[in-house]
Amino acid sequence: MAGIVDAGGGMLGAQARVQYAALARLRWQMFTNGLRSNKGALELGARTVSFVFYAVGGLAFGVGAGAAAFLLASGEQWKYLPILFWAVFFAWQIIPVMLASFQEQFDLGILLRFPVRFGSYFLLYVVFGLVDVSTILGGLGCLGILVGITAARPELFAWTALGLALFAAFNILLVRAIFAWIDRWLAQRKTREILGAVFMVLILSLQLLNPALHRQRHEENSAPLGRNATKEQAQQKNQEYQRTKAEFKARYGPWLGTANEVQQWLPPGLAARALQQRVEQQAEPASGPGLGFESLAVLGLYVLGAGGALAARLRAEYRGESLGVAPSRKKAAASQSKAVQDKTARREGGGLLDGSGPIAAVMEKELRTLFRTLPLLYSVGAPLLLVLIFSGVFIRSGPRAHIFPLALPLCLVYAQLGFTRLFYNNLGAEGTGIQLYFLSPTPIRTVLLAKNLFHSVMFGLTILIAGTLAILRLGQPEGVVVAGTVAWLLFSLPSNLAAGNVFSLTMPYRVNPGRITRQGGSQANALGALLVQALVMGVGAAVFGLSWYLHKMWLAVPIFLALAVGAVIVWVRMLRNADAMANQRRDSLIATLMKTE
């Protein structure tokens, strides 16, 4: 970092370029030094596989966006173009939240220790965001739209490129600003708990959409008429459809019209409207050459606003703001006596779990940590939304409708995915406390057992909630399907716990409770966890598929129970070897989990 020195010239001056080169050399040295260890080589392989996976998904998204843009442009259906821009916008803003904990990101806060100008710090912060998965995916989507519109209307290439450039700049700055401010709010315990409560309220509130969505689907998809239906029945069916359609327009038409007017002044709508106005200007030159510049100008103001919000947050960090969870001196003095009383109460068995043993203590600590760590809370709660979305695929309204028999286990698969971080990195939230486990007389296997028991309870509660939502939304499944699902969960849980303990001891990474972005992450851990999850799900799919093919769904129950016994044996044997594995990797565990940021 010898090149990081203060000098003039602005963010693109000669000395600033020297600083950028020094940072690039630093990153290259970190990369090459990491390859000298087996863990570094494994991380490189995992990143390569992840890059290929993300690249395939991004190319598919770009091709789909390009095909949709081509069809809209060639068919002169410009009024539907905002839908495409809104799809790219939501993908750009939502995917970072879903993948933030699975990406290893470089914390640029270390640059504040050196005399780097604010302009250079701001530019580096934005440039490092260009390699995020969301930016790559959104960029491919914008490129697909550009190619699709240009293929249909070559004369619109320059205008489309200008509008997409502003749209992409807004998304890049917005996503960086959002996460910068979220990290600011999560830096303090009080605001962190408030955000956690707000998030859980939103999760529960969205479940209220179940009756509305189900009722709407029932109204739109009534039972189909049979082949022997009379002409009068067909006419009656058509009249009911037209009446329902008219009622829908009368009830929701004004709201949809207002929503359309509002979205035209938001960034995705502005980008689409600018292009549509340019097409109208070419069709009617008398309308004036400046048509469309107004929309681009307003979009430019949005870009400046997003950049200003990001600059305000980074300016506070640049000036030395460093928030933490430590209380003020006054609060610390006021709560000192209360802390002594709490410790005395816990010794007398007055803790949350009313126990004085190490297992109860660790479980209570895990409960407190979970509610104070929004990334973990998000990981557990977010998949419940997928149950709401995914269950809608199987809804078939009407008296003759039939639900897919295996809809319940398929919905519960998504609820299980939320526990990947808890199972496969159960030591990540320990931080500096990891050294206390090696100093205390409590064996590591007891600590892992307590964590596994707590996570199993949380897993059971989440599965119960997800199963109840799926049954209320889809209807009550057959008893043999419920029994098979429970048996599969009894096999899946110990399998994930056993693999998760191994991954937690061999490939851990620190979880910062005050951040969603800029987490350390481990691509090897994430990829390995996904492979184990895929294996467990593949076994479940094979057993369910075989039983369904043989028309003997009851056969899945004994098969899964036998597999569950084997999984429990593997889990117990892994716990017996946990102390040896932990002591063998003690230095690596402490160095990884106590690493400063």
pLDDT tens string 65-76: 999 999 998 888
Residue 498: pLDDT band by 50, 70, 90 thresholds?
very high
Place of tokens 């938001």: 266
Residue 145: pLDDT band by 50, 70, 90 thresholds?
very high
CA-to-CA separations, 64 to 132, 138, 145, 287, 595, in angstroms, rounded: 21, 12, 9, 33, 42
274 and 423 assigned to the same domain: no
Q: What is the mean pLDDT of residues 103-129?
A: 73
Report if residue 257 sits inside a domain: no
- Residues 345 and 315: their CA atoms lie apart, in Å, by 45
pLDDT tens string 156-184: 898 899 999 999 999 999 988 887 887 77
380 and 489 assigned to the same domain: yes
pLDDT of 227 higher than 60: no
Selection from 477, 479, 494, 485 nearest residue 544 by Cα: 485
Alpha carbons within 13 angstroms on the beta-carbon side of residue 150 total 13
436 and 371 assigned to the same domain: yes
Q: What is the mean pLDDT of residues 335-342?
A: 53
Instruction: Report yes or no: 84 and 65 within 8 Å, Cβ to Cβ.
Output: yes
pLDDT tens string 23-79: 777 777 777 776 676 666 676 776 777 777 778 888 888 999 999 999 998 888 888
Structural domain containing residue 284? 14-208+264-318
The DSSP call for residue 354 is: -
Selection from 137, 141, 139 nearest residue 169 by Cα: 139
How many helices (H) and strands (E) in the chain? 25, 0
Report if residue 122 sits inside a domain: yes
Report if residue 569 sits inside a domain: yes
502 and 581 assigned to the same domain: yes
Q: Which of 85-94, 99-108, 335-344, 557-566 has the highest mean pLDDT?
A: 557-566
Q: What are the backbone dihedrals phi and psi of residue 430, each rounded to the nearest 5 degrees, phi first?
A: -70, -40
Question: According to the model, what pLDDT value does residue 80 have?
Answer: 87
Boundary residue ending a domain (278, 297, 318)? 318
Question: According to the model, what pLDDT value does residue 397 have?
Answer: 43
Residue 419: pLDDT band by 50, 70, 90 thresholds?
confident
399 and 277 assigned to the same domain: no
203 and 311 assigned to the same domain: yes
Average pLDDT score over the chain = 75
Instruction: Report yes or no: 136 and 92 within 8 Å, Cβ to Cβ.
Output: no
539 and 441 assigned to the same domain: yes
- Residues 446 and 161: their CA atoms lie apart, in Å, by 60
Boundary residue ending a domain (301, 318, 335)? 318
- Residues 288 and 284: their CA atoms lie apart, in Å, by 8
Report if residue 381 sits inside a domain: yes
Q: Give burial (CB, 10 Å; 0-12/13-18/19+) of 231.
A: exposed
Place of tokens 């091709």: 63
- Residues 88 and 274: their CA atoms lie apart, in Å, by 17
Report if residue 254 sits inside a domain: no
pLDDT tens string 266-311: 999 889 888 888 888 777 765 555 667 888 899 999 999 999 998 9
Hey, what are 139's tokens?
Answer: 């960029």
Question: According to the model, what pLDDT value does residue 228 have?
Answer: 47
Instruction: Report yes or no: 592 and 509 within 8 Å, Cβ to Cβ.
Output: yes
Question: According to the model, what pLDDT value does residue 188 have?
Answer: 64
Hey, what are 43's tokens?
Answer: 């991380």
Instruction: Report yes or no: 504 and 425 within 8 Å, Cβ to Cβ.
Output: yes
Least confident of 36-40, 315-319, 564-568: 36-40
Selection from 320, 520, 537, 540 nearest residue 429 by Cα: 520
294 and 399 assigned to the same domain: no
- Give the chain's domain count: 2
pLDDT tens string 235-278: 776 677 677 767 767 776 777 778 778 888 899 988 988 888 88
514 and 437 assigned to the same domain: yes
Boundary residue ending a domain (284, 318, 352)? 318
The pTM of the full predicted model, rounded to 2 decimals, is 0.59
pLDDT of 500 higher than 80: yes
Higher confidence at residue 548 or residue 200?
Answer: 548
Instruction: Report yes or no: 171 and 93 within 8 Å, Cβ to Cβ.
Output: yes
Report if residue 218 sits inside a domain: no
- Residues 130 and 16: their CA atoms lie apart, in Å, by 19
- Residues 594 and 375: their CA atoms lie apart, in Å, by 18
Q: Which of 15-24, 244-253, 384-393 has the highest mean pLDDT?
A: 15-24
Report if residue 258 sits inside a domain: no
410 and 304 assigned to the same domain: no
CA-to-CA separations, 133 to 52, 85, 170, 380, in angstroms, rounded: 12, 18, 16, 22
442 and 569 assigned to the same domain: yes
Question: According to the model, what pLDDT value does residue 402 have?
Answer: 47
415 and 502 assigned to the same domain: yes
Selection from 378, 327, 32, 366 nearest residue 203 by Cα: 378
Report if residue 94 sits inside a domain: yes
